Structure 1
């Protein structure tokens, strides 16, 4: 009897231990599920060549600042019309008008490949890439259309000085009132399986575009400015908060001046390009 009773108690204890273990496991699964729901999904990168690019703004980028699923671009480099993501080992070149110093675009170099990026204003009701692509085909007899990971793209060999030929791959994606164009060269233009191609495809897909509300004609470049790093943006935001803290009531003062108090005052605006581990500027 004693042995029987001990055995039953032992089984009862084992049953209780099993139930406790199941409860703990259920709690762990619940917590993991909550953390999974809270964590932002990693943006996907298109990999299958296609004639049409679907899912932009929902599954794939490039993204608009107002897209619900856009990645967090707080740590991106701000160029005004778009924000560039981080990619270890790249170099950044800024394209600017020599006479006005107006920023016109940027070029990313990664390994033996490069990616030139420009953002254009587009109509409200229709995309721009189909018309631009048709114009490029008409102007360049050597250009050919082909399916790509961002939809229909152009393969365009460019003859350089000395007779050397540079193969380029021109892609573009239409967003809300904008078109983002990328010109790939090097391995990224000729070898779809190259790690450089895959890295720059992902880089282009992770860009976040800010069209702004300024009236622009279709095909106009969206205004840009020199690069502003995440640290500079945070410092500027912090300074702005400090300057306005405790002064919120002043904005409601009737007749408050909106311009300078003295017509002889001058304001000097300085823009600093700082070097960091993310990018290096090449002039």
Structure 2
């Protein structure tokens, strides 16, 4: 597992394509999802001894040979950790959610509209945990998968070549399935991103790289 430094964000002009409007009324009710096989809340974490990268609020499995790319917020906190594989870039984020659940269904509709605004073609589908979005933008295939848990929502996205979309989607689902979410007990506003903490070795690697660049 190798490490990249900070991600450089580039502004690109999206290519406008024909858009299919998702019909969310035809999808299963994702408020009731089966998480018996993951993803897991910290209180449900299996004693399987599977290796996972500890990012504070998330413990994620990292495929062999994958590289990590850390995206920093301009204000300093870690915005995301991307897992780079030959079949695509996978990213997981967790957010505070209401006890009643159902946040992913709400976010999914907003995400679809944003993708359409950006010029993507969007389709809604039903997956392992209910509602999913697949999109195509600038010759990149995107798949968004969300899972509602106890007071948290876990969202995953994979971006990769269109010809590998089915394979990369299965890789994303596998990563979600084996992820552990550490929500904590502190009250937080709904949709607050759960904090990502880098392991010390990775944080030191990034600091050294920044010093060398400076």
Q: When the two structures are superposed, what TM-score results if normalisation uses the length of structure 2?
A: 0.70
* Residues paired across the two proteins, number: 175
- 1:187 is displaced (CA, Å) by 4.8
Match of 1:121 in 2: 96
Match of 1:223 in 2: 195
Match of 2:185 in 1: 213
Taking the aligned partners of 1:95 and 1:183, their CA distance within structure 2 comes to 15
Give the unaligned 5+ runs of structure 2.
1-26, 207-212
CA contact (8 A) 1:226 1:273 kept: no
Structure with larger RCO (C-alpha < 8 A, sep 6+): 2
- 1:137 is displaced (CA, Å) by 2.5
- 1:113 is displaced (CA, Å) by 1.0
Cα offsets for 1:189-224 (capped at 9, x unmatched): 9532x3x54334212210110001222111110112
Match of 2:43 in 1: 66
- 1:134 is displaced (CA, Å) by 1.4
CA contact (8 A) 2:87 2:161 kept: yes
Quick check: 1:89 aligned with 2:65? yes
Which of 127, 131, 139 is matched with 1:152 structurally? 131
User: As a proportion of its length, which structure holds more helix?
Assistant: 1
| Rg (Cα) greater in structure | 1
- 1:71 is displaced (CA, Å) by 4.5
Cα offsets for 1:154-212 (capped at 9, x unmatched): 11223xxxxx33221111111111111111111589532x3x54334212210110001
User: As a proportion of its length, which structure holds more strand?
Assistant: 2
SS in 2 for 1:118: strand
Which of 56, 65, 72 is matched with 1:80 structurally? 56
Give the unaligned 5+ runs of structure 1.
1-49, 159-163, 233-270, 275-282
Taking the aligned partners of 1:228 and 1:209, their CA distance within structure 2 comes to 20
Taking the aligned partners of 1:211 and 1:154, their CA distance within structure 2 comes to 25
Runs of 4+ aligned structure 1 residues displaced above 6 Å come to: none
Taking the aligned partners of 1:113 and 1:74, their CA distance within structure 2 comes to 22
Cα offsets for 1:107-149 (capped at 9, x unmatched): 1111131111111110112221010011123333332211223
Taking the aligned partners of 1:148 and 1:74, their CA distance within structure 2 comes to 25
Q: When the two structures are superposed, what TM-score results if normalisation uses the length of structure 1?
A: 0.54
Give runs of aligned pairs for residues 261-272 of structure 1, distance below 5 A.
272=204
Match of 2:82 in 1: 107
Which of 139, 156, 173 is matched with 1:165 structurally? 139
CA contact (8 A) 1:136 1:143 kept: no
1:102 and 1:216, CA in 2 relative to 1: closer, same or farther beyond 3 A? Answer: same
1:152 and 1:103, CA in 2 relative to 1: closer, same or farther beyond 3 A? Answer: same
SS in 2 for 1:134: helix
